[in-house]
Amino acid sequence: MIKTSPKKNRGYVNILNVSISSTPKQSLLRAIYLNLVEFDKSEAKSRLLVVTPNPEQIILAQKDREFNTIINIADIALPDGIGIIEAHRYLNLSLPNNSSIKVLYAFLQGIYIGFCTLLNNKWLKENLHVIKGRDFFIDLIKITNKRSWRIYLLGGKNGTAETVQAVLERSYKKVKIKSFSGPILNSAGYPVTETDRQLEEKAVHEIGTFKPHLLFVAFGAPKQEKWLYRHINKLNIGAGMVVGGTFDYIAGKQKVPPKIFDALNLEWLWRLFAGNQNLRRLFISFPLFPWKVFIYKIKSI
C-alpha cells in the first residue's frame, strides 16, 4: 500500500466514481511545498502522489480498475480539463420531482451547461476550477528553483526529457535537474523488453542516488500512473507527479494553444484545427464523456 498523506484537509468531488481534487490551486501547491520542506529536512512521513485526470482518463478508469484505484488513492488529482468542470456542475444540478420529465430535464440541463461553457464561464467554474497539469508543472518548477531543490524528469520519447532539462535550465538557474527517457512500457506499466527492464533499473538507481524533491513521470496514461504507483515507495523522493504530454509542450514539440482559446474553453477546437488532436481521443472527450455523465445522472434518479 502506498504511503500517502492524510486527505482530510483537501476537498474532493466525484465524477463517475473518480475522485477529483476540489481544493484551490494555491492550497495544493502549498501542501506540496510543505511536504517538500519536510523531505528536505529528512522528516517527511509520506511521499505525495499527484495525478492529472482529464475526461479521457476518467472514461479509461471506468474499465481499468487498477487505474481507477490509483487516481482515487492519489493525494492530489488535478481537474485537468473543462469537461470535468462541466460534469461536476451538471451532476450537481437538481431535477424536478416529477419522474415523467426527469430525463428530458436532465438532457436540457446538459444543453444549458454546454452554452454556459461559452456564455457563463464564471458560474460554471464557481466551485471547481480547471488546473492544467502543464501549468502546475511550471508552478512546481518555480518553487523548486527558489529553494535550489532537485527534480528528476523521467519519460518522453526520443530524448524529450533531456530537451526539457535544457529548456528549464536556461530559465531556472538554481534548480538542480537530471533527466532520462527511461524504458518503453506496456499498458500495465511494465518494461516491454529485457533492455527496457535494464533501463528501468537504471532510472530507479539514478533517482535513488539523486534523491529529487520532485519526480515528474511522462510515459502517458495509464502507464505513467501505474509505474509511479508501483515504484513510489521504493523511491527516495518528496513527491511524484505524472505529467503526460507536458514534456512535449516544454520541448516545443507541441504548440501551446493561444490564450483566447484557453479563455473560451476551446483548447480542444484549436488542437483539432492545428492537427494536434487525435480524433479517437477527441471522440472520447466529446461526445462519449458527456454521454456517460448523462447516463450516470439518469441512473442515479
- Exposure string of 23-50, with b = 16+ CB inside 10 Å and e = fewer, is bebeebbebbbebbeebeeeebebbbbb
- How many CB atoms sit inside 10 A of residue 227's CB? 25
pLDDT value of position 276: 67
Which domain, by its residues, includes 158?
A: 1-301
pLDDT value of position 245: 94
pLDDT value of position 9: 63
Number of domains in the chain: 1
CA 206 – CA 139 distance, rounded (Å): 24
CA 46 – CA 4 distance, rounded (Å): 5
pLDDT value of position 273: 73
Omega before 287 cis (within 30°)? yes
Closest to 79 (Cα-Cα) out of 124, 144, 143: 124
CA dihedral sign of residues 56, 61, 64, 68: positive
Closest to 32 (Cα-Cα) out of 11, 56, 48, 54: 48
pLDDT value of position 1: 35
Closest to 74 (Cα-Cα) out of 218, 194, 229: 229
Q: Which residues pair with 23 in a beta bridge?
A: none
Omega before 55 cis (within 30°)? no
Q: Give the helix ranges, DSSP H, for the chain.
A: 25-40, 55-63, 65-73, 82-91, 102-119, 121-124, 133-146, 160-171, 194-210, 223-231, 246-251, 259-263, 267-274, 279-283, 289-299
pLDDT value of position 5: 44
How would you write the pLDDT of the chain (301 residues) with one tens digit per residue? Answer: 334 444 546 799 999 999 999 999 999 999 999 999 999 999 988 899 999 999 999 999 999 999 999 999 999 999 999 999 999 999 999 999 888 899 999 999 999 999 999 888 889 999 999 999 999 999 999 999 999 999 999 999 889 999 999 999 999 999 999 999 999 999 999 999 999 999 999 999 999 999 999 999 999 999 999 999 999 999 999 999 999 999 999 999 988 888 888 888 888 777 777 766 678 888 999 999 999 999 999 998 7
Give 185's DSSP letter. B
CA 197 – CA 248 distance, rounded (Å): 24
Residue 23, all three cell numbers: 481544493
CA 44 – CA 38 distance, rounded (Å): 5
CA 168 – CA 141 distance, rounded (Å): 8
pLDDT value of position 271: 76
